[in-house]
Amino acid sequence: MPELAELAIMSDFINRVSEKVVYFGMNKSAVSKVKTDLRIPFEHFNVKARSRGKEISLDFYKEDEKHSQSLIMTMGMSGNWTAARGNFPVPQHAHFFLHGSSPIGKLTLCLVDIRRFAKWRWDKDFSKNRGPCPVKEHEDFRKNFAEKITHKNRKEKPMVDVIMDQSLFNGIGNYLRAEIFHRVDVNPFKSFSDIESDKIEKILDYCRICPQDAYELGGGQIRDWKNSFGVDGKNFDEWRKVYYKGDKILDRGGRTFWYDPKWEKSEHLEKYRASL
């Protein structure tokens, strides 16, 4: 599930279910290899979540104290959250658990992660090597891009690769880059220095618009299309224009990039192919 929109949805979910919950501990599954020590100096605590691009910060705090600490988490390829009330069994492939009690009984908040690529660690803040959130910190995101795109040979690299760089485009992943490029009508195989400045502006705009759309549609349903639900007659499956629909190429990172077939015969694509 998880790119920017999905991480935002997960953090909303955590906040919604945690509102009247007092937590008293957490642990991980026996099979999880994450080494982070999950003991916490609070006997009872509250939890709030924030997302920034592809990270979630779980903030632990006590009502009566200013003291707080945060787990910075990434969701890998398959991380998602669910809650088990009372003695309802926790789902298969849940690897991180937060135990609490609410006015209506026990609650276990679970990070479900089939592939176990999700990670967590204690930290003061979100990772410094990841940029601002294109949706929640849009102006900072633009500023950060303007500063860093000029560095080294970054401005000569094909934008299809640059847009996956999380120090510039925190939260943009494989389906979002496809949908962003489709909507801005820019040849994704061109480099920053080959793209007109108004088109660059448009790319940055759509780095906010596309994740926001996906967020409002309830996030991407990519391998289980049937669960797709919609808003005003639109659902994710209709919103998705090229991902799994257009032409494809294996990019420099070995990931499938889906693009508008109109770029099929462009010289920039030819050049990109030759460079792989």
Q: Residues interacting with DNA, by CB under 7 A?
A: 1-3, 6, 31, 33, 54, 74-77, 92-93, 114-117, 119, 127, 166, 173-175, 220-224, 252-256
> Residue 107 carries which DSSP code?
E
Contact 1, 71 (CB under 8 A): no
Nearer to DNA, 100 or 131 (CB): 131
User: CB count, 10 Å around CB of 1?
Assistant: 19
Nearer to DNA, 17 or 172 (CB): 172
Nearer to DNA, 25 or 76 (CB): 76
Shortest distance, position 95 Cβ to DNA, whole Å: 10
Phi and psi at 60, nearest 5°, equal -105, 130
Radius of gyration of the chain (CA): 20
Q: How many CA atoms lie within 13 A of 67 on its CB side?
A: 9
Shortest distance, position 99 Cβ to DNA, whole Å: 24
Nearer to DNA, 195 or 214 (CB): 214
Shortest distance, position 174 Cβ to DNA, whole Å: 4
DSSP string, 232-255: TTEEHHHH--STTTSEEEE-TTS-
Shortest distance, position 179 Cβ to DNA, whole Å: 11
- Rounded-to-integer distance, Cα 229 and Cα 207, Å: 23
Nearer to DNA, 23 or 257 (CB): 257
Shortest distance, position 138 Cβ to DNA, whole Å: 19
Task: Select from 222, 186, 160, 168 the least CA-distant residue to 5.
Answer: 222
